[in-house]
């Protein structure tokens, strides 16, 4: 049987059950939240891209559908496979929801990049060329007919799950293995709806940036769907404090838009979130063992010595200085540092505006 290679128009998507079940959970190849019974929670496996041996990767999907109409908020975890706090955050948000009390719905995709999640690694490994890995957050909105599996997987999710249903979206990440991040938002604050969502998060740092081609956040925003990238600290382990704050911010969004009832929790203004619009990247100029002289959330000034490297004999072979006044938001945690690898990143305000501005 031939299957259509063209993607469906968003308003033509209906729920398609493949007839398969995995561990008792129905498999869908596309999903329309409108087709689902209201006042209930639903679980599916979304049929993603095929593997080389012919089976598929399946993405766990949960939908909490309210009794009353309202927006559909998309929660996305595990686009990068080693960023496990994203998964715990989404699980905790879903556990808070009572569909019989909700207006609108919440659609969660939990562990998008299956082989990367299974391997606890950032990138999606493929068999092409004897082994090629792709960054799964540089290929959205994907292409169902693309030249590699992760691009096709993204295209299927985009065309048949996210775009037809979601009216606003939160994409949860952490930094990749070897580094550590603060609790941080990437947000295109030029968009009023994005700015509104960002203000509802009690985070440490907010980067006002116009987006990066190929990220899921930017694909959503380009499609007219307000979205944030929420970075929840370190990779590979749960950071329970940052997860709790990410959950609080996400529930604030659901409360603000009337999906769930209840008083708002803490916001960006309440915790004094620091907003910047520039990110200085300091990269190793040589090989060597890295010693950090500052740490996350430290304030730095132009010309400040922030790190050094020693060779195997203990001699200092490189020293690193910031060019800007700002706050440290990412640091390398792997002491062995190859030339070109990231030592740290500093959030700052461009155009001589002093850092420390908070959202109004
Ligand atoms: Zn990520």
CA of 339 to the centre of ligand 1 (A): 22
Q: What distances in angstroms separate CA 152 from CA 51, 235, 271, 283, one per listed residue? A: 11, 26, 40, 33
Distance 24 CA to ligand 1 centre (A): 30
End-to-end CA distance of the chain: 57
Could you say which DSSP state residue 128 is in? G
Strand order in the sheet with 336-337: 316-321, 305-310, 288-292, 336-337
pLDDT tops 50 at residue 2: no
pLDDT at 244 (0 to 100): 98
- Ligand 1 centroid – CA 229 distance (Å): 9
17 Cα–ligand 1 center, Å: 30
Confidence label for 4 from pLDDT (cuts 50, 70 and 90): very low
Contact partners, residue 166, CB within 8 Å, separation at least 6: 72, 73, 74, 107, 220, 225
pLDDT 10s digits, 271-297: 999 999 999 999 999 999 999 999 999
Contact of 252 with 265, CB cutoff 8 Å: yes
The rounded Å distance from CA 76 to ligand 1 centre is: 11
Say yes or no to pLDDT of 231 above 50.
yes
Instruction: Report CA(112)–ligand 1 centroid distance (Å).
Output: 11
Q: What is the DSSP letter of 224?
A: T
If we measure between CA atoms, which residue out of 3, 1, 11 comes closest to residue 159?
Answer: 11
Helix H or strand E segment including 42: strand 40-50
- For position 11, what pLDDT does the model report? 67
CA of 214 to the centre of ligand 1 (A): 12
- C-alpha 153/C-alpha 3 separation (Å) is 16
pLDDT confidence band for 141 (50 / 70 / 90) = very high
Tell how far the Cα of 62 is from the centroid of ligand 1, in angstroms: 21
- Alpha carbon of 204 to those of 23, 197, 230, 345: distances in Å? 40, 15, 11, 14
What pLDDT score was predicted for residue 9?
Answer: 72
DSSP 131-180: -EEE-TTSSTT--TT-SSHHHHHHHHHIIIIIHHH-SEEEEEE-PPTTEE
Instruction: Report pTM.
Output: 0.95
Residue 345's H or E segment, with its range, is strand 342-348
Distance 173 CA to ligand 1 centre (A): 4
**Tens-digit pLDDT profile for residues 51-71:** 999 999 999 999 999 999 999
Measured in angstroms, how far is the CA atom of residue 176 from the centroid of ligand 1?
Answer: 7
Tens digits of residue pLDDT in 178-218: 999 999 999 999 999 999 999 999 999 999 999 999 999 99
CB of 310 closer than 8 Å to CB of 335: no
Ligand 1 ion local residues (Cβ < 5 A): 80, 83, 173
| Cβ burial, residue 183 (10 Å; 0-12/13-18/19+) | buried
Express each pLDDT in 101-110 by its tens digit: 999 999 999 9
**DSSP character at residue 112:** S
């Amino acid at each position: 049987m031939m299957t259509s290679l063209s993607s469906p128009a968003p308003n033509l998507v209906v729920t398609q059950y493949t007839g398969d079940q995995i561990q008792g959970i129905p498999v869908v190849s596309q999903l329309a939240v409108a087709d689902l019974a209201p006042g209930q929670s639903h679980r599916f496996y979304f049929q993603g891209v095929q593997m080389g041996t012919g089976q598929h990767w399946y993405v766990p999907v949960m939908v909490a559908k309210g009794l009353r109409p309202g927006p559909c908020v998309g929660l996305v975890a595990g686009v990068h496979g080693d960023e496990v706090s994203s998964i715990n955050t989404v699980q905790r948000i879903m556990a808070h929801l009572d569909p019989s009390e909700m207006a609108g719905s919440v659609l969660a995709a939990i562990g998008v990049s299956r082989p990367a999640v299974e391997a606890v690694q950032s990138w999606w490994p493929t068999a092409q060329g004897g082994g090629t890995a792709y960054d799964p957050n540089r290929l959205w909105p994907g292409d169902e007919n693309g030249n590699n599996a992760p691009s096709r997987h993204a295209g299927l999710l985009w065309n048949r799950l996210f775009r037809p249903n979601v009216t606003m979206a939160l994409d949860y990440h952490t930094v990749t293995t070897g580094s550590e991040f603060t609790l941080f938002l990437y947000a295109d604050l030029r968009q009023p709806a994005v700015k509104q969502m960002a203000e509802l998060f009690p985070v440490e740092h907010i980067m006002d940036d116009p987006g990066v081609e190929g990220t899921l956040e930017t694909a959503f925003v380009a499609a007219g769907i307000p979205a944030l990238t929420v970075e929840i600290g370190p990779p590979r382990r749960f950071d329970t404090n940052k997860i709790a704050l990410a959950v609080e911010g996400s529930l604030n969004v659901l409360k603000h838009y009337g999906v769930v009832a209840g008083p708002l929790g803490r916001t960006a203004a309440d915790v004094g979130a620091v907003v910047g619009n520039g990110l200085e990247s300091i990269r190793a100029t040589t090989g060597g063992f890295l010693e950090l002289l500052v740490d996350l959330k430290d304030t730095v000034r132009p010309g400040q010595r922030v790190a050094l490297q020693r060779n195997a004999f203990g001699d200092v072979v490189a020293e690193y200085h910031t060019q800007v006044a700002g706050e440290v938001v990412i640091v390398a945690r792997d002491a062995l540092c190859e030339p070109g690898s990231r030592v740290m990143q500093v959030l700052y305000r461009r155009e001589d505006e002093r850092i420390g501005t908070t959202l109004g």
